[in-house]
Amino acid sequence: MKPKLPRIFLLLLGIVFVLNLVQSYFTPLIFDEAYYWHYAQKLSWGYFDHPPLVALMVRLSGMFFDGELGVRFMSCILSSLMFIVLWACIDHPRKKDYVVHFFVLVFSMALLNAYGFFTLPDTPLLFFTALFLYVYKRFLAKPTWVWGVILGMTMAGLMYSKYHAVLVIVFVLLSNLKLVTLKNAWLAVIVALACYTPHFIWLYHNDFVTIKYHLFDRPNDPYSFTKYTLGYFVNLIALFGLTFPWIYWALFKTRQKDKFTRALLFLTYGIILFFFMSSFNRRIQTQWIIVITIPLIILVFRQMIENETLRKWIYRTGIVNGILILYLRVGLVYEPISPIVYETHGNKEWIAEIKSKIGDTPVVFENSYRNAPMYAFYAGVPTFSLNNLMYRRNQYSIDESEAKVQHQKILYVTRRKQKAPDLELTRADGKVFYGKYIDDFESFRKLRTLVEEPIHLDLEREQEFKVYNPYDQDIDLKKIKFNIAYLTSFKDVKDRMAIEPRIVDDSLKALPANDTVSFIFKFPKPKMKDPAYFRIGISENGLLPGINGTNTKFD
């Protein structure tokens, strides 16, 4: 990478960096950022939803600053470095004449703006995608062992950012299958796997919880053309705003002149086609495809240099995009000018209002891995998300948050309307929450129900399941009750009903610590027709049943 950058480049980069710092300082956290801040309270080689790099970014940011900037500082750094890496990827003798156009192009992309200061897994993903392409370009020019090692480390950085980074690696490989004949390309793979081994070990020790959730337990909906496939094409447009026709026109006009350009095209078209096919199965979120912005910036800027008409129109529409984006960025902080109530609005005030009423009382949120960390960040008290059978598992299901609120007086907060609640809490977005004090809170959400497959929906036959107690204390059987949830083929809970299983060893009066106990039960008759899955949950101390088992498919 050439060390010398044009003075105008450094000036504009400095402006963008300072803008992101100021934005980071004044903008309240969004819910996902609060969740990743919760990750960072205990660094690990993995987390329920994502690899660990986003948590490390938060921890590093917190070493320099407090508050919101203490969550986002590293995002500001990585996004600025991304500009430099992208610039280095572009080999053109006249690129220095169009520095302003380069910044207009990049700044006109709304999500790239957002990830310039928000701390989300996509922030390091974008940086490492740019770095991976730069290193790959150098490797193509000089496939030495040094560049092989650096390439492997960059691939590991990609995978530590977000799991679908594997698509970046795969499509670049597919663009140049001769890589399999290069020993230093294999060295890159070995280095990447070695660097990623700690995460593999974490997955093994945590029963591959992340993989199982994303591939098997994540709920879905019946296919809808409008919501899924048409929505996907809307996302492809939304990535670029007013510049979208010129961006895609430039992509269409690009020809494969060399292996690096071929890699950029394979990566862009590969991601687009992969998620197009996926859109027939699930709704595609905009951030899943944001990685195409990195190769497209390189491809489109090349075309802008050569094509005056394209340069003129992207510059004009890009400036309009940028003005609109700046307006929306101000709206993140100053609510009166925002066209919508966004998740940065009102949370600090809502939390301050609750804390003024309850002091330092810990808070347990029902089914909200979003509200729990947000409250903990701004109120500075222990929180927990108590997930029940109508929700999903998350980081609170596997970490030590539950232990911090056990046997304490807590405020239990739910969206379900309550009779005579102790508090009624209305958030800025109009959602009403109800709070009720529990003097001695006790939950056992880590109890696991285990079923051996295959299993049939036979209402007459007695069947067996097991309960594993991972806690260090015995749990009185009188404190727990059992429940079955019947699910559709899309893993939506439709029926739920109590069951009264019989313990096999009737001498037991408690679930032994760190041990497994067998129960006999019969399936109750479901109200729904032809349930595809079932799940056995456990209710403790009158709480709603938890997500204690996996979604088990009927044979």
Long-range Cβ pairs for the range 492-496 (8 Å, 24+): 492/219, 492/221, 493/389, 493/390, 493/535, 494/527, 494/528, 494/531, 495/526, 495/527, 495/528, 495/531, 496/389, 496/545
What kind and span of H or E run contains 147? helix 145-161
Residues 186 and 194: their CA atoms lie apart, in Å, by 12
Q: 175: which 2 tokens?
A: 């663009």
Residue 237 tokens, joined: 């447009």
Residue 218: per-residue pLDDT: 78
In angstroms, the CA 244 to CA 115 distance is 19
pLDDT in the model for residue 84: 98
> Which of 527, 474, 531, 480 has its CA nearest to residue 501?
480
Buried b (16+ CB within 10 A) or exposed e, 166-200: ebbbebbbebbeebeeeebbebbbebbeebbeebe
- Classified as helix, coil or strand, 473 is coil
Which phi and psi (to 5°) does residue 450 adopt? -120, 130
What was the pLDDT predicted at 4?
83
**pLDDT digits (tens), the chain, 555 positions:** 445 899 999 999 999 999 999 999 999 999 999 999 999 999 999 999 999 999 999 999 999 999 999 999 999 999 999 999 999 999 999 999 999 999 999 999 999 999 999 999 999 999 999 999 999 999 999 999 999 999 999 999 999 999 999 999 999 999 999 999 999 999 999 999 999 999 999 999 999 999 988 887 777 788 999 999 999 999 999 999 999 999 999 999 999 989 999 999 999 999 999 999 999 988 999 999 999 999 999 999 999 999 999 999 999 999 999 999 999 999 999 999 999 889 999 999 999 999 999 999 999 999 999 999 999 999 999 999 999 998 999 999 999 999 999 999 999 999 999 889 999 999 988 899 999 999 999 999 999 999 998 899 999 999 999 999 999 999 999 999 999 999 999 999 999 999 999 999 999 999 999 999 999 999 999 999 999 999 999 999 999 999 999 999 998
Element (DSSP H or E) covering residue 517: strand 515-521
Q: How many CB atoms lie within 10 A of CB 460?
A: 6
- d(CA 391, CA 547) in angstroms, rounded, equals 8
pLDDT of residue 1: 46
| d(C-alpha 188, C-alpha 194), whole Å | 10
What is the DSSP-derived secondary structure letter of residue 369? T
Tokens encoding 276? 């197009």
Instruction: Identify the burial level of 115 via C-beta atoms within 10 angstroms of its C-beta, where 0-12 means exposed, 13-18 middle and 19 or more buried.
Output: buried
Tell me how far apart the alpha carbons of residues 527 and 516 are, in angstroms, rounded to a whole number. Answer: 31
Classify strands 432-438 and 502-503 as parallel, antiparallel or unpaired: unpaired
pLDDT of residue 215: 83
> What does the alpha-carbon distance between residue 339 and residue 327 come to, in Å, rounded to a whole number?
10
CA triple 515-520-523, angle to 5 deg:
125
- Where does residue 401 rank: exposed (0-12), middle (13-18), buried (19+ CB within 10 A)? buried
Cis peptide before 545 (omega within 30 of 0): no
The answer to whether 161 and 155 are in contact (CB under 8 A) is: no
Is 421 strand, coil or helix? Answer: coil
Taking the C-alpha atoms of residue 276 and residue 205, their distance in angstroms, rounded to an integer, is 34
342 touches 328 (CB < 8 A) = no
The answer to whether 536 and 465 are in contact (CB under 8 A) is yes
CA–CA distance, 310 with 246 (Å, rounded to integer)? 7
Closest CA to 378 of 95, 34, 83: 34
The whole-angstrom separation of Cα 138 and Cα 135 is: 5
